[in-house]
Amino acid sequence: MSDGDLISSLYPPPPPYYKYFTEENLNKLDAWVSAETTKQGDKEEVKEEVKEEEDNIKEDKEDKDINKDVKDINEDKDINKDKDKSPPGELKFLVPPTTPNGTNYRGYGNIWSFEDKLPSLKESNWEQLYQDDDESITSEIKIKELHKLMDSLLLNFLELVGIISIDPGQFEGKVKDLSLILININHLLNTYRPHQSRESLIMLLKKQIESKRAEIAKIETVTKDIKEKIIKLTDIDELNNVNELEVEAEKETEDIKEDVIRKLLNELVT
């Protein structure tokens, strides 16, 4: 496999600096950051000292040599030469890159904008076949323009068929016209993306609400069944208690009857 095929492959290999992300290098980076922070604190102290000396010079001298003296102090202390430092060696690969300057950046072979918006056809260097801008165009005008573009697409396709039947070598211009019409149609359809995302979000929320309501209904049915079972169990316990009381009452009445019979027999005997 050649280098060109390797770069343009669908799944390129990982960048070579991934092997530098080790525990040892991370510890070294932390130590370097701590040391740089300490140095930065010392530089801040030096800046304060220099500022005090500048104030003293401005108070003591009022002649033309003031600016020269201040400049000499700054050069001696190296205050104006501070720059952002990067870690040494392979540690620099562990530091995240800064945000690129400008409004666009390149990634995966395409140019992307920092602002999340649909670029216009003019910004994409394509001819716009409809008049209104994307921000001011209404939904009704979009529908009319789409119908016009579809009619133009069919007409140009028929013209392309006629050209190919007469002189096949003259197809290039008509293919470009078809490509331009399709790009305009695609761009108009892409302007509906915010509406599509909003409607998709509404549908997703509705599905979540329906699923939550179904779960609540299941919970309510389960709780209702449990309550009914508990009520049945309490009814059974009450019936058992009543039966026990009736048995005890019968025993007491039998005991009373036996006592009465005994007393009567004793009285008859005596």
Pair (33, 67) in one structural domain = yes
Measure the CA–CA gap between 121 and 211, rounded to whole angstroms: 42
Measure the CA–CA gap between 220 and 222, rounded to whole angstroms: 5
Which of 169, 191, 213 delimits the end of a domain?
191
In a domain, 102, yes or no: no
Measure the CA–CA gap between 159 and 167, rounded to whole angstroms: 12
Closest among 160, 195, 164, 196 to 176, alpha carbons compared? 160
Measure the CA–CA gap between 41 and 47, rounded to whole angstroms: 10
In a domain, 203, yes or no: no
Q: Which residue has the higher pLDDT, 141 or 58?
A: 141
Q: What is the secondary structure of the chain as a DSSP string? A: --HHHHHTSSSPPPPGGGGG--HHHHHHHHHHHHHHHHHHHHHHHHHHHHHHHHHHHHHH--STTHHHHHHHHHHHHT-TT------SGGGGGGSPPPPPSSSEEEETTEEEESS-SPPPTTTTT----SSS-TTT--HHHHHHHHHHHHHHHHHHHHHHHHHHHH-GGG-HHHHHHHHHHHHHHHHHHHTTHHHHHHHHHHHHHHHHHHHHHHHHHHHHHHHHHHHHHHHHHHHHHHHHHHHHHHHHHHHHHHHHHHHHHHHHHHHHH-
Q: Which residue has the higher pLDDT, 50 or 70?
A: 50
Tell me the pLDDT tens digit for each residue of 156-180: 999 889 988 888 888 888 889 999 9
Pair (77, 136) in one structural domain = no
Contact 191, 135 (CB under 8 A): no
Contact 181, 153 (CB under 8 A): yes
Pair (82, 31) in one structural domain = yes
Q: What is the pLDDT of residue 200?
A: 93
Pair (93, 39) in one structural domain = yes
Domain encompassing residue 29: 3-97
Measure the CA–CA gap between 201 and 207, rounded to whole angstroms: 10
Q: What is the pLDDT of residue 210?
A: 92
How confident is residue 150, by pLDDT bands cut at 50, 70 and 90?
very high
How confident is residue 74, by pLDDT bands cut at 50, 70 and 90?
very low
Pair (7, 56) in one structural domain = yes
Residue 128, judged by CB atoms within 10 A of its CB (0-12, 13-18, 19+), counts as: middle
Pair (85, 14) in one structural domain = yes
82: amino acid identity, one letter: D
Start-to-end Cα distance in the chain: 131
How confident is residue 70, by pLDDT bands cut at 50, 70 and 90?
very low
Pair (47, 12) in one structural domain = yes
Q: Which residue has the higher pLDDT, 239 or 233?
A: 233
Pair (87, 129) in one structural domain = no
Pair (173, 135) in one structural domain = yes
In a domain, 236, yes or no: no
Q: Which residue has the higher pLDDT, 167 or 1?
A: 167
Q: In this model, does residue 83 exceed pLDDT 50?
A: no
Pair (59, 129) in one structural domain = no
Tell me the pLDDT tens digit for each residue of 15-27: 888 888 888 888 8
In a domain, 252, yes or no: no
In a domain, 165, yes or no: yes
pTM for this prediction = 0.45
Total domain count for the chain? 2
Tokens read off for 41: 């604190």
Q: Which residue has the higher pLDDT, 122 or 51?
A: 122
With vertex at residue 260, the alpha carbon angle to CA 259 and CA 266, rounded to the nearest 5 degrees, is 90
In a domain, 183, yes or no: yes
